[in-house]
Amino acid sequence: MTNPKYIQNAGKQWTPAEVKQLKEMAKENMPTRVISLKLGRPVSGVQKKASNLGVSLKPTNQSPYNRKSK
């Protein structure tokens, strides 16, 4: 169940301040879900905006392929 408080900005235009925040949080390697909560936007909206801006949301400090198997 989605809490409407967290998607208060869904469908609204992105402000320059929000775009700046998105870029800064992505640079800090913040998880996409956390970025979406802080900006009050759905994860899919954050992903789409980042893609349009050419901003990578992929974590730079971890790789799913380097896990050690037992």
pLDDT in tens, the chain (70 residues): 455 555 678 778 999 999 999 999 999 999 999 999 999 999 999 999 999 999 999 876 555 555 555 5
Question: What pLDDT, on the 0 to 100 scale, is given for residue 15?
Answer: 93
What are the residue boundaries of the structural domains of the chain, listed by start?
Answer: 15-53
CA 32, CA 39: separation in Å to the nearest integer? 11
Tokens of 52: 């349009």
- Predicted TM-score (pTM) of this structure: 0.73
Question: What pLDDT, on the 0 to 100 scale, is given for residue 9?
Answer: 81
How many residues make up the chain in this entry?
Answer: 70
CA 62, CA 53: separation in Å to the nearest integer? 23
Question: What pLDDT, on the 0 to 100 scale, is given for residue 1?
Answer: 44
Tokens of 22: 């998105």
